[in-house]
Structure 1
Amino acid sequence: MKEQQIEEYEISSCTMFLKPVVYGSKIYSQIYEVEDCFLSPFKPLDIIKNSCDYFGVDYESRKRGTRKLTGYNRKNPIAIEPTNHIFFFPTASPSIPECIWLSQAHIKDYRRAGANQTLITFHNKQSYLFPVSCSTIETQLLRTALLKSTILQRIEHKGRKLTYLLHVPKALQASESTHEYAGEFSKGEE
């Protein structure tokens, strides 16, 4: 894949991972999508934060929400846009420059490739080597799955409640309408 330079980027359902890369004296991001690769002058965490903002909730709120829903305090996965199943997790503390962000939805398989190396295969059949232990990837995938299932269950539950309220079963509705009574009362009063 040929890498294209871009100025702005919002994470989408096509984004597989964001990897920091040293570019001169700055840290840029290599952005890997299913069929494209981009180079952005922003750090991976900045792209994560901007993408959260783009979808209407700031990064710090997403982080607090993850803590409340999962109880995790470190290396929290982030629900960037839950209704479109866009959940990312960090490979290390997001504050350190080496942190890579991966999309849980795109990971097909992973295996240990060395002491602190994991080979991840994505659904598009591409594989990349990451400088992180296999146990860290496994832990982060499980944390992200917990966050995702908790949020999606709540969304589904609210949707069922709303559907129920909008479509009250006929058995609960009155079997006669009030306009029938209105006509009878007027006749009786005459």
Structure 2
Amino acid sequence: MTKNLHQISNYIASNSTFCLISHPHRSKVHTIISDKHGKVIYPNKPLKIIRNTCRLHGSSYEASNYNAKLFFGKSKHKLPIMVAYDFGDPCILFPLFSPHSSQNIWISLHAIVNINELGNETIVTFIDGSEERLPIHMKSFNHQYVRAAMYYKHLIAKRNSKL
């Protein structure tokens, strides 16, 4: 699958991003990036993309994670985070597994148009009609999705109250 993918040396997540999928390659973890332009491969972990995106926009992964913890309270793991404001709209990505896991997948809230269950997996349909089969129960996926949507609504309300 990855043999046909073009390798890139840099990537910044945005609301054009669909998902960032960890992909073991030899002794290293790479990232398969799916976005509105198709799929490419990046020679580092998805978390590096998340960190670089936060840094580019004047923040850090730690600060974004801290802000999510303030909103969610006791829940401290697998939090959705805002990596940027994309043309004034919060760009929210949520991890399916631990953000530091070599098997983690980050999903962009904005890219999802449908979710279906297939046994122990979840099939996500993105805004361009492409689908991704994910190794997670639909109940767990839905939990992460709802938390990301709640966080998005919170950020929008917070932004609007400052106007």
Which 5+ residue runs of structure 1 have no aligned equivalent?
A: 160-190
Q: Alignment partner for residue 88 of structure 1, among 85, 93, 96?
A: 93
Paired letter, 1:75 = K
CA distance in 2, matches of 1:30, 1:91: 15
**Residue correspondences, number:** 158
**Matching residue of 1:168:** none
TM-score with structure 2 setting the length: 0.92
1:84 Cα offset (Å): 2.8
Query: What is the match of residue 162 of structure 2?
Result: 158
Q: Which runs of 5+ in 2 are unaligned?
A: none
Q: Which deviates further from its counterpart, 75-84 or 149-158?
A: 75-84
Of Structure 1 and Structure 2, the greater strand share is in: 2
Contact 2:122/2:138 (CA < 8 Å) preserved in 1? yes
Q: Secondary structure at the match of 1:9?
A: coil
Name the amino acid aligned to 1:5.
Answer: Q
TM-score, with structure 1 as normaliser: 0.80
Say which SS state the counterpart of residue 124 (structure 1) adopts: coil
Q: Which has the higher Rg, Structure 1 or Structure 2?
A: 1
Higher helix share: 1
Query: Is residue 105 from structure 1 mapped to residue 105 from structure 2 by the alignment?
Result: no
Letter in 2 for 1:123: I
Contact kept, 8 Å, 1:16 with 1:102, in 2: the verdict is yes
- Higher RCO structure (Cα 8 Å, ≥6 apart): 2
SS in structure 2 of the partner of residue 147 of structure 1: helix
Instruction: Work out the CA distance in 2 between the residues paired with 1:53 and 1:8.
Output: 13
Task: Determine if contact 2:90/2:155 at 8 Å carries over to the other structure.
Answer: no
Could you list the structure 1 runs, at least 4 aligned residues long, displaced by more than 6 angstroms after superposition: none
Identity of aligned residues (%): 27
Report the Cα offset of residue 114 of structure 1. 1.2
Q: Distance in 1 between matches of 2:82 and 2:58?
A: 12
